[in-house]
A and B are shown apart, each in its own frame.
Chain A
Amino acid sequence: MKLELTDEQQMIQAMAREFAESEIAPIADEIDRDERFPHETVKRMGELGLMGIAVPEAWGGAGSDMVSYVLALEEIAKQCASHAVVMSVNNSLYGWPILTYGTDAQRERFLKPVAGGHALGCFALTEPQAGSDARNQATTAVRDGDHYAVNGRKLFITNGRESSFALLFCQTDKDKAHRGITAMVVEKGTPGFSVGKTEDKLGIRASDTAELIFEDCRVPVAHRIGDEGQGFRIALAALDGGRIGIGAQAVGIAAGALARAIAYARERKTFGVPIGEHQMIGWKLADMATAVDAARLLVWRAAWLKAKGRRCTLEASMAKLFASRTAVQVTNDAIQVHGGYGYIREYQVERYYRDAKITELYEGTTEIQRLVVAREVLGGAE
C-alpha cells in the first residue's frame, strides 16, 4: 500500500492553496453577501488550468489526474464553496463526459475552450419533476432532419447563466423511458435556448444557479454526445466523478471551518485559559478533525480509483455521503466552538455552515447515496 502524493500533486495542492488564500479568501465574504458571480477569479482559475485538470493537453486541459483535481478542489473550497462548485461542474460534470464520450470534433469545439478556462460549461439534467428521479425526463428532443427540436425546462443548473455550453439530457424516445435519454451540447445563443430565473439560495450564493428554458430550440445532430439512448448512462457515469468532486468540496468546507475553529480555540480565553484547553472544546475539535480526515481519505480513494479508470460507483457514493455529512456536522460544531461570535458574519463560520448544506443535496441527495451504497453492498447493482 502506498499513500503518498506525487511531487506534482503536492505542487498542484500548494499552488491551489496559495491562490485560494491570496486571491479568493479576500473576496469570499463579500461575494457571498452580494450574491456576485466572481468572474475575475474564475477566469484566473481557468488560466491556471483548474477548469480542466484531468483533461489531456491536446484538448486544452492540464494533463493531470483525478487525485490532483480533488486536492485542488479541496483547497479552493476551504476558502470559498462557490468557487469550488463552479470548478467542480466544469471538470467533472461537463468536461469529463465530453472527453469520454465525445468525438474529436466535439472535443475540439465543446471541450477545449472550457478545459482551457476560456468558457464555462454546465450540466443540465435536473428538471422540476425530475431531481432524484432523473429517469423521468420531461424535456424532449424530436429529430427533424439533421437537427433535434428541443422543448422543456431544466432547473437548479449550476453555472446555468454563465455557461457558454450546456450538456443537456433529454428524451429522444419516450417509449424507452430512461433508455431513451440522449445527451447533447447546446451552445449559448442558439435560438429557442434561454435562461430563466436565477435562484436565491441559502449557501454557495456567489455561484450561479439558474433555470434553462428550451422552446423549439434546434440543436444539430452533430452536437449529440454518444448515441441516442446513451444519455442516462453518460449522466450516471459523470455523476460518479461529480460525487467525488462534491466530496472534495465538502472536505474543503469542513476543513476551512475546522481551521477557523482551531484558530479561535487557541486565541479565545475563558477562565484564564484558551478555550481549546477546556476538555469540552478539545474533544469536539478532536472529533471534528478525525471526521475531516476520514472524509478526505474516502475522497482520495474514490479519486484514485477513478484516475486508474476503475469502477468507483460505491466508493464515490460513500465518499460523497460521508464527506457531505461531515461538512454539515463540522461547520455546525465550528459555530458552537465560536459561541455567539460564530453566528456573526465577521467570523465566517456561518458562511461555511450555510454552504455545507448543499453538499447533502446536489449531485445525488444523501438519500440517493445511501440507496446506491445499499444496492452496491447488497450486490444488486444494475
Chain B
Amino acid sequence: MANAFWCMVEDDRKGTPKKVMAEVIGEATRLAGGDVEAVWLTDTATDDGIRQLGEWGAKKVWLIEGAELAPYRAEVWVPIVAELVAAQSPKAILGPVTSRQREFMARLAARLGVGLAGDCMGLAMDGDKLVGTRPVYAGKLLAKVAWAKTPWLATLRPNVFKPADAQPGQTAAVERPSVQIPAAQLKLVERREEASTGLPELTEAEIVISGGRGMKGPENYVILEELGGIIGAAVGASRAAVDAGWRPHRFQIGQTGRTISPKLYLGFGVSGAIQHLAGMRTSKVIVAVNKDPEAPIFKIADYGIVADLFEVVPQLTQEFKRLLEK
C-alpha cells in the first residue's frame, strides 16, 4: 500500500523477532495511523514470530525466507527490498539500530536515492511530513532532520520509543513475494561467538551498569556482573577503563564506543568525562556512585551516592535481591 510504514524486522537469528521490534512497530503505528507492515528477511521464520509481529500491530508481513539470507549480507538483501519498494512504494521504512540494519538501511537509502536518518530518538509528523530527531556529536546536540522525498528511511534507537502493547488475537496477513535472491559476494568462513556473560547486549539493555577508573582493575568487574545478573543489566565501562585494558572495546560507553539510552543507568567509579557523558546522557534515569563529590557525573545524575563503590555495590546487590525476590 502506498501509504504504508514498513518495519524492517530484526530477529534473534532463530526465527523470532527481537523485542525492540515492539518499539519500532509501536512508533510506526503512531505515525502511520495503523498502516504498518513488517518486512522480514530471514533463513527461518517461526509461526510464533509471525504471530508476534501481528500482535504488536503489523497488518501485513512481507516474508522473504531463504537459506541464502543468513548470515546477513547487504548485497543479497538490498536488491530484494529495493525491488519490493519499487513495486509497493511504502511511505517510510523504519528499522531498529542493530549491526546489520545500520549497514543495510544506509545501502538501501543509496540505492533508492533517498535520505536516511540513523539512530533517531524522536519521530513526529509535521503536517504530512516526517521530522526526525537524532543525537549528533555523540549526543551533545540534537539535530532535527526532514526528508526531501519518500520513502523516509530511519533507524530507531532501542529503549527510547514506547513499545506496542501486544494485542492477543490480532494477526498479520503473510505475503511471500516471489523474488530473485541475488548471489552473495561475501563468503562466510565462520562465526565466532563471544563468551556469553549471560547479560543483555549493551545497546539493547533496559538497564546498564558502567564501571569506570574507580573499579581499580579488571578483576573487580565481577561484582558489577553479579549485580547485573540480579537486575538484568548489561555491564559496560568508561573509556578510561577500556584504555587501561580492563574491558574489551565492545563494552565501552561513550563517544568512541556505544551510545546508549537505557531506562536506568548506574555508574560506579565513573567520573563522567565529557565523552562518556555524551554516550549515556540520554538515559532516562541516571544513578552515580563515586567517592569524589566533585565528579562531573553528579551534575547529570538523578540520584547520587558519595561513597566507595566497593562498599555500595555488595549492599546494593543484596538490597535488589531482597526487593526482586518479593
Determine whether A268 belongs to the interface, using a CB cutoff of 8 Å to chain B: yes
The answer to whether the Cβ of A367 comes within 8 Å of any Cβ in the partner chain is no
Task: List residues 322-356 of chain A with CB under 8 A from any CB of chain B.
Answer: none
Expressed in whole angstroms, the Cα–Cα distance for A267 and B295 within the complex equals 8
CB-contact partner of B294 in A22, A26, A267, under 8 A: A267
Bin chain B's interface residue count. under 10
**Which residue of the partner chain A has the closest CB to B295?**
A267
Q: Which residue of B lies closest to A266 (CB)?
A: B294
A269 to B296, CA, bound (A): 13
- Chain B nearest Cβ from A271, distance in angstroms: 15
**Best-surrounded residue of B243, B244, B294, B296 (most CB of chain A within 10 A):** B294
List which A255-285 residues lie within 8 A (CB) of chain B: 267-269
* B240: nearest chain-A partner, CB-CB: A26
Chain B residue with the shortest CB-CB distance to A268: B294
**Chain B residues with CB below 8 A from A267, complex form:** 294, 296
Q: Closest CB of chain A to B274's CB: distance in Å?
A: 13
The docked-state distance in angstroms from the alpha carbon of A148 to that of B296 is 64
Return chain A residues, CB-CB under 8 Å to B294. Answer: 267-269
Q: Which residues of A contact B243 (CB under 8 A)?
A: 22
- In whole angstroms, what is the CA distance A22 to B243 when docked? 9
Per-position 1/0 for A13-32, Cβ under 8 A of B: 00000000010001000000
- Nearest A residue to B243 via CB reads A22
Give the contacts of B294-309 with A (CB-CB under 8 A): 294, 296
Nearest CB on B from A142, distance (A): 56
Closest chain B residue to A26, Cβ basis: B244
User: Which label, helix, strand, loop or mixed, suits the secondary structure of the A interface?
Assistant: helix
List A contacts of B296 (CB < 8 A). Answer: 267
Bound-complex Cα distance A26 to B213 (A): 12
Nearest opposing residue in chain B for A267, CB measure: B294
Q: Which B129-182 residues have a C-beta within 8 angstroms of A?
A: none
Q: B255-279, CB under 8 A of A: which get 1 and which 0?
A: 0000000000000000000000000
Chain B residues within an 8 Å CB radius of A22? 243
CB distance from A268 to the nearest CB of B (A): 6
CA distance A26 to B244 in the complex (A): 9
CA distance A61 to B164 in the complex (A): 66
**Separation in Å of the B32 CB from the closest CB of chain A?**
49
Q: Mark B80-117, 1 if CB is under 8 A from A, else 0.
A: 00000000000000000000000000000000000000
**Min distance, Cβ A261 to any Cβ of chain B, angstroms:** 14
CB distance from A281 to the nearest CB of B (A): 15
- Distance in Å: Cβ of A210 to nearest Cβ of chain B: 33
A30–chain B nearest beta-carbon distance, Å: 13
Complex alpha-carbon distance, A26 and B246, angstroms: 15
State in angstroms the CA–CA spacing of A175 and B296 once bound together: 68
- Taken together as a complex, chains A and B put the C-alpha atoms of A22 and B240 apart, in Å, by 11
A324 to B231: give the CA distance in the assembly, Å: 57
Kindly provide the distance from the CB of A119 to the nearest chain B CB, expressed in whole angstroms. 30
Give the distance in Å from the alpha carbon of A269 to the alpha carbon of B293 in the complex: 10
Which residues, 1 to 56 on A, are CB-close (under 8 Å) to B? Answer: 22, 26
Complex CA–CA separation, A267 to B292 (angstroms): 11
Task: Select from chain A the residue with minimum beta-carbon distance to B296.
Answer: A267
Q: Give Cα A267 to B243, complex, Å.
A: 25
CA gap between A90 and B294 in the complex, in Å: 41
Q: How far is the CB of B204 from chain A (nearest CB, A)?
A: 31
How long is the Cα–Cα vector from A85 to B294 in the complex, in angstroms? 34
> Shortest CB–CB separation between residue B263 and chain A, in angstroms?
30
The smallest beta-carbon distance between A259 and chain B, in angstroms, is: 16
Smallest CB–CB gap between A96 and chain B, Å?
Answer: 36
Tell me the complex Cα distance, A157–B243, Å: 36
Q: How far is the CA of A268 from the CA of B296 in the complex (A)?
A: 11
Residue of chain A at shortest CB distance from B293: A269
CB distance from B75 to the nearest CB of A (A): 39
Q: With a 10 A CB-CB cut-off, give which of A22, A267, A268, A269 has the most chain B CB atoms.
A: A267
State in angstroms the CA–CA spacing of A271 and B240 once bound together.
32
Min CB gap B308→A, angstroms: 15
Instruction: Digitize A185-203: 1 where CB-to-B-CB distance is under 8 Å, 0 elsewhere.
Output: 0000000000000000000
- Complex CA distance for A22 and B296, rounded to whole angstroms: 21
Residues on A with C-beta less than 8 A from B244 are 26
Q: A269 to B294, alpha carbons, bound, how many Å?
A: 9
Chain B nearest Cβ from A79, distance in angstroms? 16
User: Which residues on the B side are within 8 Å of A26 (C-beta)?
Assistant: 244
**A38 CB to nearest B CB, Å:** 18
For the complex formed, measure the closest distance between the CB of A193 and the CB atoms of chain B, giving whole angstroms.
41
Q: Mark A207-244, 1 if CB is under 8 A from B, else 0.
A: 00000000000000000000000000000000000000
Which B residues touch A269, using CB under 8 A? 294
**Minimal Cβ-Cβ distance residue in B for A22:** B243
**Distance, CA A267 to CA B299, complexed state (A):** 11
Closest to B292 in A: A267
Closest approach, in angstroms, between the C-beta of B35 and any C-beta of chain A?
53
Measured CA separation A267–B271 after assembly (Å): 12
Cα of A50 to Cα of B281 in the assembled complex, Å: 40
6 sampled A-B residue pairs with Cβ under 8 A: A22-B243, A26-B244, A267-B294, A267-B296, A268-B294, A269-B294
Q: Which residues of B contact A (CB under 8 A)?
A: 243-244, 294, 296
Give the 6 A-B CB pairs with smallest separation, nearest first: A267-B294, A268-B294, A269-B294, A26-B244, A22-B243, A267-B296
